[in-house]
Amino acid sequence: MSTYYNPYISWETYSDYHIRQDVLSAWLRWKFNDNQIQVHVSVAPIRAVHQQLPPLNMDFDPHDRLLDVCRNYLTYPNTLLKRLPKNILDRYQAYLARNEADLFDEYRARILLWEAWSGENNLANVGDNSFIESEHSRAPLNCSAPMLKLVLTFHQVDPSFLDYIFTFGDQEEPQDACLSQFQSHDALAIHERLPFIPQLGRSGKEIRHSFLLRSVERVPEATSWPWSVRQLAAYHSFDVGNGRTIWITAKGNDLMQRRIMDDTADLPALRASAGRDVAASFEAALGTLLIYFAWCEENWRWFVRDIEDHIRQELRKAKTVPIDEKPYFTNVPQKMNTGLTTSSKSSHNPWNYPEKIPEKRDIFSSFRRLSRPSWHTPSGFDVPPPPPPPPPGHGQPAGQARREMPDDTLVLKIFSYKDLQKLISLGERLEESLLIINLNLRVLQNACEYYQRLADSEDIGKEIKQRFVKSIAQFQVKTRGIIENLETRQMQLLSLRKRLEEGKALFESLLQYRGLEVGRIFAEHGHKSALVMQNIAYRTEQETVTVRVITVITLLFLPATFLSSFFQSGIIDWDDAASIGFRADAFRLFMAICVPFTAAALIGWLVTNKWGDLRSRRKSLEDTTATMQALLTQQQKDPPV
């Protein structure tokens, strides 16, 4: 029988003992299809019982007490019949109120109650399953806070189960660090037993525990990573007296709901008819528990395979990239003499700048050098052409092609920091998976130890104990098989983590090499630019020498040309009729005027050139001194650590 539970109408439909006689009579006749049922009201015996009890003890009928606390279900966990320390109850109540907005989705409120009946005409069903869902592991539950409080109050669930419920709710990032846990809170000992309520089939002697498991499930709509971590919170109680079983399950989808319903319908050992026998019902409860345990192991094989494929794909580039040990710098010849000589004295110069400007060679020697053909000009860049490449296969074994020089930017094209980020992301998934498996192993081991202690306990009675031992042994064997499978996945993930760490180290080395490659490429381009600039400077120097030679020649012939033009202009009258001969007075006049003019022009040019050189040297000296002083000042302000 399945029905949907709503706390706002539940107590109007199934009312307590304050209901009217005609309403209860009509409901019972409809429920059991018997129009002969009659309801009689007897108030005096109840009042007599209440009058005989001390007012502070409140030891009246447990069924009435349960109905009373169910009316006040909004105050859960203060509605437990088995009292706990008040500070614990108040703490859980405050946590529940504080997280209520993110934990529940009232617009999708629906708790599925699936009940397995024994077939008898009574209200004591042998199996109750309450399923609470959410869209995914970080979504709110599809119930309201009053609905959950009512269910937990009616089944008298220990408030520690709320620790597992709090892992759900609306959250941007997963919380509680992959928490998985197992807790037991039995009611087997005499002083720990719950109230005896025969109307509900509760003997008060119950096995109770709750657990939280996590596993990975494939998400079909995911694009980048197809796996998602899902949690499963479950509460279980088994009545040792009559075999009544309670399950409350909260999960991020309806997988466990469909699985338990299908398995219970298909497997005879899990059917409700087995509830007539306590031992068979206990075996069915353990079988249901194994369904939960099998879920936490079933998908890890495929998860390990997928993450291994991702790691292999990322590391393949690092292991197969061609890296040559020799740098591929261009062969640069040594600089030859360009006609400049430098002399510097650094013994008394703290800044290591040139104390003497390079001296020019003799102008006429430069002129002689320029008079040579241009193809004989010595230069540091007159590199003979490289020899022609050998024919293919020359000097190599047959069938072996000549190795080509790899592209300088090959490493830059293949590797990037995005690849390292992918490896870091895979490492985080590995660590998360290992933590989940380790905590799941603890849950399964604690469950085995718990049921072993239960088999050794005397609180359940010798007769029931003997009937439970075989079921517990089979349960432990199957659980240990699940543990061994999880340990195998754990070893696989540990091996992958080691490979990933080695791959990350290789990637970091390659990224360092990539940085060196970037520096090398920039250095080579800078070196080539420097060579070009040096060639330009050399040619400029040649042109400068040429200009200076032309200037000297011009200065030598300009005064004479000027005087020739002056004497021929008619300003001075010469006697053209006179006989041709050497005129000493005219020659003296010419030399008296031409030589001083020529000497003055040369001296003026030399003085101007020298003054320009001194000015350039003084400016270079001042700039170098200012730069070094600024560097020293900055170094004093920011001393090295």
Q: Are 441 and 490 in contact (CB under 8 A)?
A: yes
What's residue 16's pLDDT? 44
Q: How confident is the model at residue 569 (pLDDT cuts 50, 70, 90)?
A: low
Higher pLDDT, 306 or 111: 306
Please tell me which of 252-261, 369-378, 444-453, 595-604 the model is most confident about, judged by mean pLDDT.
444-453
- What is the average pLDDT across 308-325? 77
Q: Is the pLDDT of residue 366 over 60?
A: no
Per-residue pLDDT, 114:
66
DSSP type of residue 458: S
- Flag whether pLDDT at 340 surpasses 70: no
* Buried b / exposed e along 364-401 (16+ C-beta atoms within 10 A): eebbeeeeeeeeeeebbeeeeeeeeeeeeeeeeeeeee
Does 111 or 149 have the greater pLDDT score? 149
Cβ(247)–Cβ(432) under 8 Å?
A: no
**Mean pLDDT on 309-321:** 82
Is residue 604 very low, low, confident or very high in pLDDT (cuts 50, 70, 90)? confident
| pLDDT at residue 578 in the model | 58
Residue 443 near residue 215, CB atoms below 8 Å: no
Q: Average pLDDT, stretch 41-66?
A: 52
What is the mean pLDDT of the segment spanning 155-167? 91
Buried b (16+ CB within 10 A) or exposed e, 334-348: eeeeebeeeeeeeee
> Distance (Å, rounded) from C-alpha 615 to C-alpha 58?
112
What letters, b where the CB count within 10 A reaches 16 and e where it falls short, cover 257-289? beebbebbeeeeebbbebbeebbbbbbbbbbbb
Least confident of 113-122, 367-376, 520-529: 367-376
Mean pLDDT of 350-364: 42
pLDDT at 413: 62
Percent pLDDT > 90 in the chain is: 18
Q: 130 φ, ψ to 5°?
A: -110, 120
The answer for residues whose C-beta is within 8 angstroms of residue 627's C-beta and 6 or more apart is none
pLDDT(151) > 60: yes
The pLDDT of residue 573 is: 59
**Cβ atoms 344, 356 nearer than 8 A:** yes
Residue 535 CA, chain-centre distance (Å), reads 53
Report the pLDDT averaged over residues 197-222.
87
Average pLDDT over residues 33-45: 66
What is the torsional sign of CA 613, 618, 623, 629?
A: positive
User: Which residues face 314 on adjacent strands?
Assistant: none
Is residue 128 within 8 A of residue 113, CB to CB? The reply is: yes
**CA-CA distance, 304 to 437, in Å (whole number)?**
12
d(CA 100, CA 321): 55
Question: Any residues with CB less than 8 A from the CB of 400 and at least 6 apart, and which?
Answer: 393
Cβ neighbours of residue 229 closer than 8 Å, sequence gap 6 or more: 137, 174, 178, 214, 215, 216, 432, 436
What confidence score (pLDDT) does residue 182 get? 92
Pick the range with the lowest mean pLDDT from 95-104, 349-358, 423-432, 504-513.
349-358
Question: Measuring CA to CA, how many Å separate 349 from each of 398, 617, 619, 621, 634?
Answer: 63, 15, 17, 12, 21
Q: How many residues does the chain have?
A: 641
Whether 538 contacts 374, CB under 8 Å: no
The pLDDT of residue 480 is 95
* Mode of pairing for the β-strands spanning 227-239 and 206-218: antiparallel
What integer is the mean pLDDT of 5-33?
56
pLDDT at 375: 41
Q: Which whole-number Å values give the CA distances from 161 to 171, 174, 211, in the listed order?
A: 20, 19, 8
Which tens digit of pLDDT belongs to each residue from 212-245?
999 999 887 767 788 988 899 999 999 888 888 8
Average pLDDT over every residue of 467-471? 86
How many Å apart are CA 155 and CA 185, to the nearest integer?
14
* pLDDT of 523: 86
Q: 53-62, 296-305, 342-351, 493-502: which has the minimum mean pLDDT? A: 342-351
Using the predicted structure, report yes or no on whether residue 460 has a pLDDT greater than 70: yes
pLDDT exceeds cutoff 80 at 579: no
- pLDDT top residue among 379 and 541: 541
Which pair of tokens denotes residue 71?
């009316």
> Residue 300 has what pLDDT?
94
Q: How confident is the model at residue 347, as a pLDDT?
A: 40
Would you state the pLDDT for residue 641? Answer: 41
* Pick from 26-30, 42-46, 412-416: least confident: 42-46
Is pLDDT at 337 greater than 50 in this prediction? Answer: no
pLDDT (tens digit per residue) in 615-625: 888 888 888 88
Beta bridge partners of 111: 5
Top-confidence range, 188-202, 299-313, 387-401, 512-526: 299-313
Q: Could you tell me which residue, 517 or 530, shows the higher pLDDT?
A: 530
In whole angstroms, what is the distance from residue 285 CA to residue 175 CA? 31
Highest mean pLDDT among 32-46, 62-76, 387-401: 62-76
Residues 476/450, Cβ–Cβ less than 8 Å: no
Would you place residue 605 in the very low, low, confident or very high pLDDT band (cuts 50, 70, 90)? Answer: confident
**CB-facing half-sphere around the CA of 333: CA atoms within 13 A:** 14
Is 132 a residue whose pLDDT tops 80? yes
Q: pLDDT above 70 covers what percent of the chain?
A: 70
Residue 301: the pLDDT is 93
CA distance 428 to 296: 20
Which pLDDT score is estimated for 201? 80
pLDDT at 71 over 80: yes
pLDDT at 262: 83
